Amino acid sequence: MRTRSQLYAVKVFEQIERDVKDAPADERTKYGSLALKLPALIRTAGLAQALAFAEARGEAAGKRLLDHIAAVVGENGGRCELLKRVREVELAEYMDLTRRILGALTWYGRFARTILGVELGADEEGVG
Supply the pTM of this predicted model.
0.88
Q: How far apart are CA 23 and CA 81, in angstroms?
A: 25
Q: What is the pLDDT of residue 122?
A: 57
pLDDT tens sequence for the chain (128 residues): 889 999 999 999 999 999 998 888 899 999 999 999 999 999 999 999 999 999 988 788 999 999 999 999 988 888 999 999 999 999 999 999 999 999 999 999 999 999 999 887 656 544 44
Contacts of 47 (CB under 8 A, 6+ apart): 86, 94, 97, 98, 101
3-state helix, strand, coil in the chain (%, to 5): 75, 0, 25
Residue 106: which H helix or E strand, with range? helix 91-114
Q: What is the pLDDT of residue 90?
A: 96
